[in-house]
């Protein structure tokens, strides 16, 4: 297998986060992948057949990030992406986010 290019993997991760921050069918699938890495137990898993429904460049970025995950054994917070992933949880899994005191009325 190829050697991990960390800079390329982090660039792929940033592209995926940007996609997941929007609201399309591909965004939902990318968010599902990223959130499965963040916390599959709470956020759900990722159906690998979703790769069939993504543009090739997006699927390649997912595979690059999968390689990062496999080689480094780290969560997104290890790369300074924790706050972005917390925002993804709030956007895509709002039921997992505790309401703020001000929102409780």
Give residue-wise pLDDT tens across range 56-96.
999 999 999 999 999 999 999 999 999 999 999 999 999 99
Two tokens at 11?
Answer: 């660039």
Q: Among 62, 63, 49, which residue's Cα sits nearest to residue 1?
A: 63
Do residues 42 and 32 make contact, with C-beta atoms less than 8 angstroms apart? no
Q: Assign 32 to helix, strand or coil.
A: helix
pTM higher than the cut 0.85: yes
Q: How confident is the model at residue 1 (pLDDT cuts 50, 70, 90)?
A: low
- Please check whether residue 24 lies inside any domain of the structure: yes
pLDDT reported for residue 99:
73
- Please check whether residue 43 lies inside any domain of the structure: yes
How far apart are alpha carbons 6 and 13 in whole angstroms? 10
Parent domain of 74 = 6-95
For 34-61, the pLDDT digits (tens) are: 999 999 999 999 999 999 999 999 999 9
- Please check whether residue 72 lies inside any domain of the structure: yes
- Please check whether residue 102 lies inside any domain of the structure: no
Domain count, the chain: 1
- Please check whether residue 100 lies inside any domain of the structure: no
């Amino acid at each position: 297998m190829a050697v991990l290019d960390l800079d390329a993997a982090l660039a792929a991760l940033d592209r995926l986060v940007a996609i997941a921050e929007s609201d399309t069918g591909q965004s939902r699938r990318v968010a599902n992948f990223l959130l499965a890495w963040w916390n599959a137990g709470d956020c759900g898993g990722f159906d690998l057949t979703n790769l069939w429904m993504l543009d090739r460049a997006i699927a390649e970025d997912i595979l690059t990030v999968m390689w990062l995950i496999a080689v480094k054994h780290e969560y997104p917070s290890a790369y300074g992406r924790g706050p972005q992933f917390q925002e993804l949880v709030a956007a895509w899994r709002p039921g997992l986010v505790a309401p703020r005191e001000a929102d409780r009325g």
